[in-house]
Structure 1
Amino acid sequence: MKQVTFLLFIFTLFLSGCGLKNNTKDVMPEEMPSDFGFSVKFGVGKKNEVNTFEGIVTKDLVADGTATINLPLTIEEKSNIYKKMKEINIINMKELVPKTKCMTEPYSEDEWKIIISGETITPYISGAYCEKATDENKLIDLRNYIRNIVQSKVEYKKLPKATGGYE
């Protein structure tokens, strides 16, 4: 009888261990990892871009195409962005598509590629929907935070102004 109880105990332990989720990938490291980097393409046609892997920024000039410059972010700027990503728990965002059938045109899109400790995550949001998903505003706020950093730099301010518009 003791053997049966012991075997049931071991079997139960084994089953409960199999059901445990590996949470190490679901938690961002406290400090910014050395391999941290991201790119975000955004706007109509995703023509704007901030890319820390290549140290470039691309501005959509609408009727006049795009302009790309070398504009690497500082370690401090990247660290502050990393902290914002950690605050919004970017690696666990699930609600990025709203439950709606209403669509608009033209629309803006955000396409992300983020590397954190060897893991790549690729959040994507579309402004084609009339309503916003639960986590969508967090990602838009983060993108706007990054855009404000970039737009405050002298090099960016020297870029030509956009002309025209989207209909």
Structure 2
Amino acid sequence: MGRLCSLLFVLLLIITGCSKDVKINTNTMPQSLPADFDFMVSFGYGEVTKNEINTYQDTVVKDLVINGTATANMTFTVDEMRIIYEKMREINIMGTKDLVPTNQNCGKKPFSKDRWKISVNGVTKELTWSEEYCDVTSDAQELLELRTFIQDIVADKDAYKELPQAEGGYD
């Protein structure tokens, strides 16, 4: 009887281990905000990615279109950095990302483009995505939503509000 129970237990382990529904958490980002967390995102249209939010240098750059750019010193509070980090952790930003759409038969101009640099626990990752091919992947959409969330925080900062207004636009 003991042998039968042992055999059934081993078979149960094998069957459970082979299940296709088992998901492994591959998020390597620590639960809490690491001391070396920093990020930079530059964004804009096509090759004109003049807007930038940079925690490595504690700056924000605003594209003024026909008037060049304006830069301000700007820092996030610890709470803001925690919230941003948690949003990045939720989308596992340090994990594998699919940023190139499968359908590349459509093109549009101008198109939005983002470049990211993120450092967590001694690891730095760089990501780039664009709307050049009309469609964006779900991973790119998550990055867009993250950037928009961060932009909203920046827009409320006095240092950003004091920058000149942009003039003109991109065709």
TM-score normalised by the chain length of structure 2: 0.81
For structure 1, list consecutive stretches of 5 or more residues without a partner in the other structure. Answer: 1-22
Query: Which structure carries more helix by proportion?
Result: 1
The AA in structure 2 aligned to 1:35 is D
The residue aligned with 2:164 is 160
The residue aligned with 1:138 is 142
How much does 1:141 deviate? 0.3
CA distance in 2, matches of 1:24, 1:51: 29
The AA in structure 2 aligned to 1:125 is W
SS class of match (1:110) = strand
SS class of match (1:130) = coil
The residue aligned with 1:64 is 67
TM-score normalised by the chain length of structure 1: 0.83
The AA in structure 2 aligned to 1:82 is Y
The residue aligned with 1:41 is 42
How much does 1:25 deviate? 8.0
For structure 2, list consecutive stretches of 5 or more residues without a partner in the other structure. Answer: 1-23
Contact 2:98/2:140 (8 A) holds in 1: yes
Fraction of identical pairs, as percent? 46
When the two chains are superposed, the root-mean-square deviation of aligned CA atoms in Å is: 1.6
Contact 2:26/2:95 (8 A) holds in 1: no
How much does 1:43 deviate? 1.1
The AA in structure 1 aligned to 2:32 is E
The residue aligned with 2:152 is 148
CA displacement 1:97-124 (0-9 Å, x = unmatched)? 1012211111121100000000011111
Moved more, 128-137 or 140-149: 128-137
SS class of match (2:72) = strand
Name segments (4+ residues, structure 1) moved above 6 Å: none
The residue aligned with 2:53 is 50
The residue aligned with 1:128 is 132
The AA in structure 2 aligned to 1:132 is V
Contact 1:96/1:133 (8 A) holds in 2: yes
Contact 2:130/2:136 (8 A) holds in 1: no
CA distance in 2, matches of 1:66, 1:25: 39
CA displacement 1:8-65 (0-9 Å, x = unmatched)? xxxxxxxxxxxxxxx9984110001100000000112110000000000000001111
The AA in structure 2 aligned to 1:113 is K
CA displacement 1:122-164 (0-9 Å, x = unmatched)? 1111121211112111000000010000001122111111100
CA distance in 2, matches of 1:66, 1:121: 26
1:84 alignment partner, one of 82, 87, 106: 87
